Chains A and B, each alone.
Chain A
């Protein structure tokens, strides 16, 4: 029933999409002739209604699929493949787009929704372009719906409904993966809008205003792509367990390529709207953006490009290649026929060392970047054709080729605000020369002082400092200028500045974000650090400036997977940092194992720990340690980037209340994202103060003794104190009690105190044990496990010997013998 409804909805959608194209086309024909203009209008209205109907139908189909997941309709093959009864609700929702069929349906639904909104709510400027835009958008919709319906239907039924589904791919059970596809699709789908309107502009020869007409949509698509890419990077970092965030995999590149051209388009649009030309550039950028979107889908779904990210090989490849070909040939041909119009309306950029020149450089660089990444992704095919031998471009190739280009872009980001248009150009540069020179010097010097001395990285840092200083100067300058006029407080002025010039300052904010991201990229790419180490239980090992103590290995069963993890205490020198729990999960449904890394973030670097293996008796474990230098600048930069984009998108006409609401919601989201990345533990737990290392100050505590007295460790300064954690229910603790008493009696009178701390025990039992073993040294109960937590004990018995100066002199995990204890005390009492 559910399956049939779903398929029916998709089938109807195809019909409606085709009708829309026809109706829009009819309306164009009829409106061209004054006599039939009224009819034309009717047809146009009908087409518009049809776009809403399409959005409704596909939305409904998506809803049906969602309901099927939520109600465990395992007779649907797609649901059975990606869901199960035991996964939580929020994962069932994201399972809808976990596979090819569902994600295509999501694509179709978004496509239809955007088409309806962009045409139905088009601005005045966009109105003339709507009919043709509708034609193209509905044809694009028809293509995707047809592909979904005939080649990748989500509602196919299984002959027999299984009782339990296979469960969601464990790698996808991460918040990043839930939002990553929808965000990416907003980007991909969104780029069809500027494309359709651009084609409409070409056909109707109204090419001046199209970028302004759909500026918001371009921005939405660009931001969606950016968010999708950032989420993908963070997901890879958190989940994939190799310590990196970008592999230059062809499918990753497939998301990056349209983002490059979309960024170029956004910049070119600024020029076009300021009557500075760039019409041809913008047309090319939008055409390639859409073609690259199709290429991206092709890369992900056809299996023809060697990539580990791709969906398995399917029959979609040929159809997408045809679509790409048709799009490119058609639009470029159209562009060619309209070249006269483009030429006459283009202003010329006069001076390379001007703002216009910088925009030219920006577009040029994004074009070469697109070309570079495209060539890299297709290198095997290209080299085979040209030289007969297949070469592949690895991450090294991409870094080497794109690195310098990105570096120059950062430089351009810095130069642009400094150069005026034309004559005023160098004046601004003059005014700010000390500021930017300071920036260009301070950052590399700071980096070098922190130990980062690679030449190329220092050059990169210099560019970063330069660009950062120039961009920040823009904000300061803007506020100062405004305050001259309005005498507002600084923050007030800043608020109004941002409110009134969203695109400009949103853009600068995005630039700041990119500059910060560049810091993170320089750090991680140029200072990679990775090491393997094996540690025995209870032992310590030093890697770099970190010391790791492998405490123990543990096991558990949760829902549909079993998990094994290691408790590893991490110290820098003698300072306890945290306890990390890298783990390995084994999923029963899909028989997959997933390594889940543990992360300790800090501003200057991330410590990244992976559990790679262990011996069957749990005595030894092997770990991989990755240190990611400066990586948090990448994530921080990403957040600022998104904030800037959101600011640029916020509508001008919003009233005060909406602005405040937006600010609050925006801050809330940013803080939420920040908390998710740095506030939540990624496999790290804090044991109070951790187990104090030898040489560390022993944590002070207050113990309530059984005889009613209260003693604190600090009172015992000047004496050697033996602190013993034990319990009556622990056999080895009980074993060591006679030894402890013996030593106590032998050393009583010398400068030694003993403190017995009973862990999770009852007074009655403790008292009887003391009587039974004749224990005469002071003993107390650790109420609430507070002292145990302070000392980071992970089991009992554990004994600490504290020297007269309060420092830990000796730590013994497990039962201690009289000989060992005496020897230690002798050494200390000397």
Chain B
């Protein structure tokens, strides 16, 4: 007694369930994905939320306490729009400019974990975590892309 309708219903049920999973997960676990400037613009709305921020690492700001372990460093604003990045001469150039600019928006990041090998000056950092009440960003995860001196696939050390 099964016919096309049964299959349609089964199919729709599955698709519906999956869409529900996607939407509910986006609502609760997905992270805002912003630049440093956008994070600052968010103001109070940024508190209490899971956020992903990307920026350029300022090498001279890296402080590592190997015993804790804890590493703190500052990231500088990098535009997110790929077209904008292209216009300004490519990612490496944009990272370099960001680090050279003393007035650009910046964010201090605290990461309570082992210092990743790729944390260096002008690296592109993608930090996931929460903004603390002290204005510093407390990262649960830190992913890094290498400065494009290394024009090759360099998988990063992902902290967890």
Spell out A's residues near B (CB within 8 Å). Answer: 81-82, 98-100, 169, 171, 236, 240-244, 247, 249, 300, 303-304, 306, 308-313, 348-352, 357, 360-361, 364-365, 368, 371-372, 375-376, 379-380, 383, 389-394, 396-397, 400-401, 404-405, 530, 532, 534, 590, 592-595, 610, 612-615, 620, 622, 624
Contact = CB atoms under 8 A, between A and B. Distances in A.
A311 B157 contact: no
Contacts of B67: 534, 613, 615, 620, 622
Contacts of A532: 68-69, 113
B69 A389 contact: no
Interface of A is mostly: mixed
Most A CB within 10 A of own CB, among B24, B29, B153, B154: B153
Most A CB within 10 A of own CB, among B32, B80, B114: B114
Given A240-B157, A243-B160, A595-B117, A404 B152 contact: no
A520 B66 CA distance: 32
Contact of B91 (A313, A361, A590): A313
A375 B144 contact: no
Nearest to B153: A311
B66 A394 contact: no
B26 A309 contact: no
Interface stretch (B13-21, B103-111, B130-138): B13-21
Given A390-B80, A393-B30, A401-B21, A349 B7 contact: yes
Interface string B85-117: 100001110000000000000000000011101
Please list the 5 inter-chain residue pairs (A to B) with the smallest Cβ-Cβ separation, ordered nearest first: A613-B66, A612-B114, A392-B33, A308-B156, A391-B30
Contact of A592 (B2, B68, B82, B117): B117
A397 to B, nearest CB: 5
A516 B6 CA distance: 33
A156 to B, nearest CB: 12
B151 A311 contact: yes
A365 B11 CA distance: 9
Contacts of B153: 98-100, 169, 300, 309-311
B40 interface: no
A304 B82 CA distance: 6
A351 B2 contact: yes
A81 B151 contact: yes
A81 B152 contact: yes
Nearest to A351: B2
Given A352-B7, A400-B21, A368 B117 contact: no
Contacts of A396: 25, 29
A494 B21 CA distance: 43
Nearest to A612: B114
Given A308-B145, A392-B52, A594 B152 contact: no
A699 to B, nearest CB: 35
11 contacts: A100-B152, A169-B150, A310-B145, A313-B91, A364-B14, A372-B18, A391-B30, A391-B33, A396-B25, A397-B29, A532-B69
Contacts of B69: 532, 612-613, 622
Given A303-B91, A620-B67, A393 B6 contact: no
A530 B159 CA distance: 11
B126 A306 contact: yes
B54 interface: yes
Contacts of A624: 113-114
Given A169-B150, A532-B69, A391 B26 contact: yes
Q: In the complex, which range does the number of interface residues on chain B fall in?
A: 35 or more
Contacts of A592: 117-118
B75 interface: no
Contacts of B145: 308, 310, 312
Contact of B160 (A244, A351, A401, A534): A244
B115 to A, nearest CB: 8
Contact of B154 (A171, A304, A357): A171
A154 B82 CA distance: 26
Contact of A371 (B18, B128, B156): B18
A660 to B, nearest CB: 41
B148 A352 contact: no
A613 B31 contact: no
B25 A400 contact: yes
B26 A397 contact: yes
B34 interface: yes
A401 B157 contact: no
B29 to A, nearest CB: 4
B66 A308 contact: no
A454 to B, nearest CB: 18
A352 B10 contact: yes
B148 A397 contact: no
Contacts of B157: 240-242, 595
Given A368-B18, A613-B69, A614-B66, A171 B155 contact: yes
B85 to A, nearest CB: 7
Contacts of A247: 158
A82 B30 contact: no
B160 A308 contact: no
Nearest to A97: B153
Contacts of A311: 151-153
B11 A364 contact: yes
Contacts of A392: 30-33, 52, 128
A368 B16 CA distance: 10
A168 to B, nearest CB: 10
A530 B2 CA distance: 50
Contacts of B126: 306, 308
A420 B110 CA distance: 59
Interface string B33-67: 11000000000000000101010000000001011
Nearest to A620: B67
Given A613-B66, A615-B66, 15 more contacts: A99-B151, A247-B158, A249-B158, A300-B153, A303-B91, A306-B33, A306-B54, A308-B155, A312-B148, A313-B90, A368-B14, A368-B18, A380-B33, A394-B29, A397-B25
Contacts of B91: 303, 312-313
A372 B15 CA distance: 10
A128 to B, nearest CB: 32
Contact of A98 (B7, B30, B152): B152
B10 A393 contact: no
A538 B44 CA distance: 49
Given A306-B126, A622-B66, A169 B22 contact: no
Contact of A383 (B26, B114, B148, B155): B26
Nearest to B91: A313
A392 B145 CA distance: 17
A568 to B, nearest CB: 16
Given A350-B2, A397-B26, A613-B66, A390 B33 contact: yes
A357 B91 CA distance: 50
Contact of B114 (A81, A99, A372, A613): A613
Contacts of A240: 155, 157-158
A439 to B, nearest CB: 25
B110 to A, nearest CB: 15
A352 B6 contact: yes
Contacts of B144: 308
